[in-house]
Amino acid sequence: MNQAHAILVDDWHAVAELDFLRSRGAFATALLDVGLEVSCGGPDDFRVLRRDTGAPLATRVEYGHLFTTLGEPARDLVHFPECHEEDRIRVTGGSIGVNVSGLRAVENFLDMGHFPFVHTGYLGIEPHTEVEPYEVAVTEQDEILATACRFFQPVASPSAEGGMMVDYVYKVCRPYTACLYKSNPVEPERWDVIVLFVQPVGEERCIAHSWLAYLPHDLDEEATRWYMQLIFAQDKPILENEFPKRLPLDRRAEVPVRADAASLAYRRWLGAHGVTYGAIPAA
């Protein structure tokens, strides 16, 4: 088993969607193979205990989720300014368990190539299968940024009618946190935003938590959440059939094409930061 590196231990991770936690009262989960008891004593009273030592852990509430840490966070939660814009529909997507490394889930989130085949009729459709060249860079904030991404989508958003070319920007902020910005058909100068907080339960099991900040045109919270779950549930069986279930970081392990530039950058970046948990490190 690969040890969780300090970059993961000393960071915040989402461990519960708040509505889910409020309705359950308490439940058991795990973070980086450490068993946790998450509980709710009142509408805004949330606790996380380690099951092995009984020690209470620090918590933070943001983006519709409860976050905790196993160590001493060196950094604050990632700040997503769009998620604080009050005219947006802001809603959690609903946490879904996936039996694969959380790194695979993040990598899939960055991939446009699978749209026509996995999200047929929604995020892509044959013969519009080409991923045009796009730019990938590591920013001064040490985030991976993929820009100038474009793809033809039949139903690009919960309110879309008719196919359109959609612009995307992807950002990987932390090993298990990524977000995407997607052009909005009504307000082209603003973006719809989807943040993915992946909870690494174990090396080959994760829970995908998401936070959606959509522009409100012809949308409500229910439709926004419905669309997210429809799309994510299409990815789930593909992810669970990945082999190996952990993400190989050796560049010779899988054969990439140009459309995989974001994925390659992610794997390199994980390797450079010494992340081995949920990965198969390069030899």
Q: Which is nearer to another protein, 92 or 177 (CB)?
A: 92
CB of 46 to another protein, least distance (A): 15
65 binds another protein (CB under 8 A): no
Residue 143 found at the interface with another protein (CB under 8 A): no
Report, in Å, the least distance between residue 83 CB and another protein. Answer: 18
- Which positions from 217 through 246 interact with another protein, judged by CB under 8 A? 222-223, 225-226, 229-234, 236-237, 240
d(CA 64, CA 131): 33
Task: Pick the binder of another protein from 68, 69, 95, 159 (CB under 8 A).
Answer: 95
Q: Which of 97, 133, 256, 274 binds another protein (CB under 8 A)?
A: 97
Report the residue from 27, 34, 71, 268 that binds another protein according to the rule CB under 8 A. 27
Give the range of 25-33, 48-56, 107-115, 264-272 binding another protein by CB under 8 A: 25-33
Neighbours of 76 (CB within 10 A): 10
DSSP assignment of the chain, as one string? -PPPPHHHHTS-EEEEEHHHHHHHSEEEEEETTEEEEEEEEETTEEEEEETTT--B--EEEETTEEEE-SS--SSPPPP-GGGG-TTSEEEE---EEESS-HHHHHHHHT--TTHHHHSBTTTB-TT-------EEEE-TTS-EEEEEEEEEESS-STT--S-EEEEEEEEEEETTEEEEEEE-SS-TTSEEEEEEEEEEEETTEEEEEEEEEE--TT--HHHHHHHHHHHHHHHHHHHHT-SSSSEE-STTSS---GGGHHHHHHHHHHHHTT--TTEE---
**Only segment of 4-12, 19-27, 48-56, 100-108 that touches another protein (CB under 8 A):** 19-27
When asked if residue 92 is in the footprint of another protein (CB under 8 A), the reply is: yes
Q: Find the part of the chain contacting another protein (CB under 8 A) among 52-60, 70-78, 88-96, 125-133.
A: 88-96
Instruction: State yes or no: residue 269 binds another protein (CB under 8 A).
Output: no
Which one of residues 39, 59, 99, 147 is an interface residue with another protein (CB under 8 A)? Answer: 99
Contact 175, 273 (CB under 8 A): yes
Size of residue set near another protein by CB under 8 A? 28
Choice from 7, 30, 96, 253 touching another protein (CB under 8 A):
96
Residue 207 makes contact with another protein by CB under 8 A: yes
Q: Which residues bind another protein (CB under 8 A)?
A: 17, 19-20, 23-24, 27-29, 92, 94-97, 99, 207, 222-223, 225-226, 229-234, 236-237, 240
